[in-house]
């Protein structure tokens, strides 16, 4: 990876274009918290997302490591298309849910073994997502190497699994699932098809989303510091919120212009 191309934090104007919007949540639309359940999105930001979705005829999706049920709670009352658990579950614009899952015996064995091990490491957390597992160590960074080794051992034992590192977390998910694949699937369906994709994310888990969008000549935006395949950068979650305000103004202006021409 190389640093994002645009270091001036200046995103191109989206005025006049036909875009599809994809957003990560934690670290992008919401500030990261020590506990996943403590995360929230301000009401004003949720309203902006709702308006942007409306003006884009529904071409707005959430692409996150969280399950879809949690995403719905975070952005309520908006119920947008969503890819949860990095795409292991995906709800398209028609409301149909597509799921990939681990075999039941593997999922049960993993959950039991992972929980038993993490119980021995204070302040670590096992998050069970149904078809994936997240091993959190934000509150216990001294266990980073041990948790990474535990995850690597699990992947070595079960070829059905893939390992996905993140910020103070490592996830075990079904093989072949990632955010880039989720974005590509959305882009083959209405109302996303034929639009220019815009993907905003902050973490290692978003890099495949950036690559997918770059390949489609779209706009990839990295939030925060660090090397990235993204072509543009915003400094913080607060910068994302400000950009959403500006984006909404652009879309509203374009919409008024179209009505005037009609």
pLDDT digits (tens, 9 = 90+) for 156-211: 999 888 898 888 999 998 888 899 999 999 999 999 999 999 999 999 889 999 99
CATH superfamily of 104-174: Trehalose-6-phosphate phosphatase related protein; domain 2 (3.30.70.1020)
The pLDDT of residue 3 is: 55
Terminal Cα distance for the chain, rounded: 46
Check if the beta carbon of residue 93 is closer than 8 Å to that of residue 58: yes
Secondary structure of residue 207 in the 3-state scheme: helix
Domain boundaries, the chain: 19-100+177-260, 104-174
Q: At the top level of CATH, which class does the domain 19-100+177-260 belong to?
A: alpha beta
Q: What is the pLDDT of residues 91-133, one digit of tens each?
A: 999 999 998 888 878 889 999 999 999 999 999 999 988 788 9
Secondary structure of residue 201 in the 3-state scheme: strand
Check if the beta carbon of residue 176 is closer than 8 Å to that of residue 162: yes
Residue among 128, 137, 83, 136 nearest 110 (CA) = 128
Question: 24 an active-site residue?
Answer: yes
For strand 19-23 and strand 125-128, is the pairing parallel, antiparallel, or unpaired?
A: unpaired
CA 186, 187, 188, 190 dihedral sign is positive
- Name the token pair of 79: 């119920």
């Amino acid at each position: 990876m190389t640093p994002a191309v645009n270091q001036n934090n200046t995103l191109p104007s989206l005025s006049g274009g036909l875009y599809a919007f994809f957003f990560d949540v934690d670290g992008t639309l919401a500030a990261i918290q020590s506990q996943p359940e403590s995360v929230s999105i301000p009401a004003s930001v949720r309203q902006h997302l709702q308006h942007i979705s409306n003006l884009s005829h529904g071409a707005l999706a959430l692409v996150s490591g969280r399950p879809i049920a949690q995403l719905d709670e975070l952005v309520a009352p908006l119920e947008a298309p969503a890819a949860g658990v990095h795409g292991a579950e995906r709800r398209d614009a028609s409301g149909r849910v597509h799921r990939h899952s681990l075999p039941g015996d593997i999922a049960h064995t993993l959950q039991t073994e992972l929980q038993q091990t993490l119980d021995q490491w204070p302040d670590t957390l096992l998050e069970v997502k149904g078809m994936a597992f997240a091993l959190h160590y934000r509150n216990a960074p001294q266990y980073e190497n041990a948790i990474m080794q535990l995850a690597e051992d699990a992947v070595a034992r079960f070829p059905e699994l893939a390992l996905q590192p993140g910020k103070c977390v490592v996830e075990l998910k079904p093989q072949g699932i990632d955010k880039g694949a989720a974005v590509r699937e959305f882009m083959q369906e209405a109302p996303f098809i034929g639009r220019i994709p815009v993907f905003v994310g902050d973490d290692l888990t978003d890099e495949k989303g950036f690559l997918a969008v770059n390949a489609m000549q779209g706009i990839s935006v990295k939030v925060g510091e660090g090397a990235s395949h993204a072509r543009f950068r915003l400094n913080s979650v607060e910068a994302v919120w400000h950009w959403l305000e500006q984006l909404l103004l652009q879309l509203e202006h374009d919409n008024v212009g179209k009505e005037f021409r009609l």
